[in-house]
Amino acid sequence: MKVLVTGAAGFIGFHVSKHLLERGDTVIGLDNFTPYYDVSLKEARIKELQNLNKDLVFEKLDLLDNDALSRFCSEHQPDRIIHLAAQAGVRYSIEHPRDVIQANVVTFMNILDQANELRVEHFVYASSSSVYGSNQDIPFRITDNVDHPISMYAATKKANELMAHVYSHLYQLPSTGLRFFTVYGPWGRPDMSAFLFAKAIYSGETIKLFNHGNHRRDFTYIDDIVSGVIKVLDSPPESKANHYALFNMGNNQPVELMEFLRLIEQNVGKKAITELVDMQPGDVEETYADIDAISNDLGYRPKTSIDVGIAKLIDWYKSYYGQV
C-alpha cells in the first residue's frame, strides 16, 4: 500500500512513517521543515527513516503551494493519506493567528482536495484534544459540544473536522479525524512539557508551573498513538450513508502534572527548580479522553504506563542530546 504522510519529519509523522515502512508499506513523505522548533531534529528524523528504508520517497514541500502538491500527488498516486502536517502550539496560535489559519486551514483544504481528486481509499487526519476548550464534562466524549474553542489552534482543528465532514458527505470520501491527547515519547517536540522539563532540569533552569502546578493531562505515549493511527488507517468508514468518523485517541488515565514532573526528576536523577505561576491564556486545567468509541470499534487499547513511557523518553533524550 502506498501511503502519503504529511508532516513526515514531525514527531508523530516520523513514528507513523517508521511503522509503515517496517511493515512493508511504501511511504511517500512530505514536510516543509518549518522552523517552529529546531530543524536539525526534523532532519535527523528523516535521516533515520532513510537509513531504515532507502526506498523512502520524501520531498520538502509546502502544502500552501497547491500546484506543487498537485503535481507531487499526480506523480506518486497514493492509495491512502495520513495528514499530520500542521502548525502546532496553542500559545503560538494566540500570538500568530493568521499564520495558523494559513498553515492549518488553507493547507487542509489543499490536501483534502487532493484526497478527493485521487479518490483515495481513506483520508486520516490529526485533530486535537484542544477542540474541547474549557469543557467541564470529564472525560471528554466525542459527542460533546465543541463549539466554544479558546484558542485559534483549537478553532483550526475544529474547522478541519467540519471540512472533512463536508467532503465525506458530498463526495463520499472516507475520512477519519483523530483527536490526539498530549502525545509524548522519544523524538518528540522540544516545545512540549516533557522536553522542556528535562532540558530545564539538566541545565539547572527554573521550570514555570502554570496554574500553580494544578494541571492534569491525559499523557499518551507515542507507540500507543501509532498503534491507533494504523488501526484507523486500515479501517475506513464503511457506511454508505456516512463515510465520516471521528475518534478520541488518549491514554484514558490523566496524570497530575506534579507526578509527571516527579517521574522526569527520578529518571534524570536530579531535582527540578520550580516557580508556581498563574494559568496561561488558552490553557485548560484537565484533559481526559473517553476512548470507548475507538476501543469498541477498532480494539484500540493503550498499553504504556506513564512511568514506563517517561523512562523510555529520558533514555532517548540522554542518548540524543549526550546527557549523562
Helix (H) and strand (E) counts in the chain: 12, 13
Q: What pLDDT was estimated at residue 213? A: 83
- Residue 207's pLDDT is what? 93
Give every residue of the chain whose pLDDT is below 50, as ranges. Answer: none
pLDDT score, position 103: 97
Q: State the Cα–Cα distance between residues 284 and 217, nearest whole angstrom.
A: 9
Question: Please, are residues 80 and 1 in contact by the beta-carbon 8 Å criterion?
Answer: yes
How confident is the model at residue 281, as a pLDDT? 82
* 239-265 pLDDT per residue, tens: 656 799 999 999 999 999 999 999 999
132 is catalytic: no
pLDDT at 136: 83
Q: Is residue 281 part of a domain?
A: no
Residue 121 confidence (pLDDT): 97
Question: What was the pLDDT predicted at 54?
Answer: 81
**Rounded distance between C-alpha atoms, residue 265 and residue 283, angstroms:** 24
Torsion of CA 315, 316, 320, 323, to 10 degrees: -20
DSSP assignment of 255-322 equals: EEHHHHHHHHHHHHTSPPEEEE-PPPTT--SB--B--HHHHHHH-------HHHHHHHHHHHHHHHHT
Query: Does residue 276 lie in a domain region?
Result: no
Within a domain: 226: yes
pLDDT of res. 259: 96
Residue 209: inside a domain: no
Q: According to the model, what pLDDT value does residue 280 have?
A: 80
- Evaluate whether residue 156 is within a structural domain: yes
**Is residue 186 in some structural domain?**
no
Q: What is the pLDDT of residue 242?
A: 79
- Rounded distance, CA 64 to CA 108, Å? 9
Number of neighbours of residue 7 by Cβ within 10 angstroms: 25
- Residue 241's pLDDT is what? 64
pLDDT at 304 (0 to 100)? 98
Residue 127, in any domain of the structure: yes
The domain in which residue 62 lies consists of 2-181+220-251+288-303
Q: Please count the other Cβ atoms lying within 10 Å of the Cβ belonging to residue 43.
A: 13
Judge if pTM exceeds 0.75.
Answer: yes
Grid cell, residue 142, equals 466525542
Q: Is residue 298 part of a domain?
A: yes
Please enumerate, as own/partner, the contacts of 317-323 that have beta carbons within 8 Å and a separation of 24 or more.
317/186, 317/195, 317/198, 320/44, 320/186, 320/187, 321/202, 323/202, 323/268
Domain count of the fold of the chain = 1
Active site residue: 153, 184, 244, 317, which one?
153
The CATH number linked to 103 is 3.40.50.720
Q: Using only the alpha carbons of the chain, give its radius of gyration.
A: 19
